[in-house]
Amino acid sequence: MLVLTRKTNQSIMIGDDIEVSVLAVMGEKVRIGIQAPRSVPVFRKEVYLEIQSERGADNARDAVDEALERLKGRGGAPSNHRTASLPSRVEDEGPPGPRQRAAPLPSPPLEP
């Protein structure tokens, strides 16, 4: 990560088309301005992550629907089988169960 120090009314350039300016510093808050072409999407990170999670849920829902359609075409599912749509958002269900935990990281090699 590149770390730069800028004062109020100073800018940095990203490529030839994107300018990030420090507009004001108020205590712990920094107001920045971003000048970029309309073709470049600019989001706060929390908004960007929400958009990505919704895209992932939509892609997962589409994949399930496609798989069910393929099964129907092969006779794998009854023709009167109804499919419920998946929720658009998965809510937090608490801590992961024992089968959901990630494998532990390997130990570093022992030095002689």
Is residue 100 in some structural domain?
no
Q: What CA–CA distance (Å, rounded) separates 54 from 56?
A: 5
Query: What's the Cα-to-Cα distance from 17 to each of 14, 26, 75, 101, rounded to whole Å?
Result: 7, 28, 55, 44
Question: What type of residue is 78?
Answer: P
Q: Tens digit of pLDDT for each residue in 57-81?
A: 788 777 777 877 877 876 654 444 4
Q: Tens digit of pLDDT for each residue in 23-44?
A: 999 999 999 999 999 999 999 9
Look at the chain and count its residues: 112
Question: Do residues 12 and 4 make contact, with C-beta atoms less than 8 angstroms apart?
Answer: yes
Same domain, 71 and 55: yes
> Which residues span the domain enclosing 17?
7-37
Is residue 17 in some structural domain?
yes
Global pTM reads 0.50
